[in-house]
A and B are shown apart, each in its own frame.
Chain A
Amino acid sequence: MHRRDTSGYLLASRTLYLKVFAVTTPDTTGLGAAAAWSDEIASLQRRTRLARGTPWFPLTLFGLLVLASAPLYADPSPACPADHHVCVGNIDPSPVNNFFPGGVFTGHPAGVAIFWLVAGPLGYLATGAFYWARARCRGVAISPTAYIVTGLALLALLVVTTWVHVFPFGNLVIRGLTPLITIAIGLFVLARCERSWPLATFAAAFLALALVANLYDMENVAYRLGLGSPGFQTNVIVAGVTLLLGGLGFGLAGLVSKRRLT
């Protein structure tokens, strides 16, 4: 009765017998059969994860978007005298700034607001399109819906809280980099969708970086290291490059795993 199906898998009666045999007779054959099943499950799960792909696309895309926004964060007072240690930035009176935390110490607060209100939703929609196309091509899908909805909802939350002037986080808004926080929180949700601990770890690190970027001028560190005064854009560039490196890392990890398997 030891039949095999087309895949070569042993049928239920045989496997059940092996297992009962394995439990009642402590020999290495039975142990091997039960252990082989566990290994096989792990191997199938590894292959599925590999086929699903890595989250390189959203990280790379948002990295590029953050870098693209950098010129809007240029130092606000080009005419600031060289002997001044502190220059107060523009306080943009335009109405658009009442709808999004575009920052106070940024060169173009209204530009920052408009950029993120357009680029943010487009970025999430592009990510959705990418995941849809990849699923169609590979035959195995991860749904990024929760990620997209969270990202859009957080952007909407920034708009609403700014509009009704109840943004509860004080200093977080002055650098106009709150979109970084929404990106970081979105990555946690994406990590949940992807069932990926490495992405969750990256999201935690990026959230910490996003908070630092919102609360501290990283150019101070560059100045202390003798790298001159690269300007307020340092925060933006560091965040953008971090996302790009993350995208590159996940992309390379996917390629290496694929090569190992084949």
Chain B
Amino acid sequence: MTHPTQHLDEVVHQRTRLGILAVLVEADRAQFGFLQDTLNLTDGNLSRHLQTLEKAGHVRIEKGYEGRRPRTWVRITRSGRRALADEVALLKELVGRLDFHSREESTQRTADA
């Protein structure tokens, strides 16, 4: 049986990108500005992470105009949803393993005492 860390997706397994996907999975689409405010990121930083996610096929970026103002909308793809779900499941599995180790250690300590 392989360890859960073997299945980590390097694209999603990054805190900012995980945050972007976590926001997008709760809506059909979000504006660039909304992601920036919610995750407290700079223009450049968010763009870089979005490009990485887009390249991996996890998000789709749509550029358009509202009146004369340019707007960038981002939406999560099916592959992005799956990747996020897998990552969250792995996180839970890791925490579960840690819980098990902690309990084992505490039982050992009690027995030693």
A residues apposed to B, CB below 8 Å: 5-12, 15-16, 19-20, 22-23, 26, 28, 30-31, 34-35, 37-38, 40-41, 44-45, 47-49, 51-52, 135-136, 138-143, 193, 195
Contact B30 A26 (CB under 8 A): no
Chain A residues lying within 8 Å of B31, measured Cβ to Cβ, are 139-140
**Are the C-beta atoms of B41 and A41 separated by less than 8 Å?**
no
Interface Cβ pair total, 8 Å cutoff: 119
**Please, which residues of chain B bring their CB within 8 A of the CB of A140?**
23, 27, 29-31, 34
Given A16-B13, A19-B5, A141:B29 Cβ within 8 A: yes
- Determine whether B18 belongs to the interface, using a CB cutoff of 8 Å to chain A: yes
* Complex contact B39–A31 (CB within 8 A): no
Give chain B residues whose Cβ lies under 8 Å from the Cβ of A41.
18-19, 22, 88, 91
Given contacts A31-B102, A38-B88, contact A143 B5 (CB under 8 A): no
Interface of A is mostly: helix
Contacting residues, chain A, for B56 (C-beta < 8 A): none
Q: Is B40 an interface residue (CB 8 A)?
A: yes
In whole angstroms, what is the CA distance A40 to B22 when docked?
9
17 pairs from A and B in contact (CB 8 Å cutoff): A7-B45, A12-B13, A23-B94, A28-B102, A30-B98, A34-B94, A35-B95, A37-B15, A37-B18, A41-B91, A48-B26, A49-B26, A135-B29, A138-B34, A141-B28, A142-B27, A143-B29
Across the interface, which residues of A come within 8 angstroms of B66, CB to CB? 136
Instruction: Let me know if B25 is at the binding interface, CB within 8 A.
Output: yes
Choose from A20, A30, A51, A142 the contact partner of B28 (Cβ within 8 Å): A142
Q: Are A11 and B14 in contact (CB under 8 A)?
A: yes
Q: A26-B101, A41-B22 are in contact. Are A48 and B27 (CB under 8 A)?
A: yes
Residues of A within 8 A of B41 (CB): 5-7
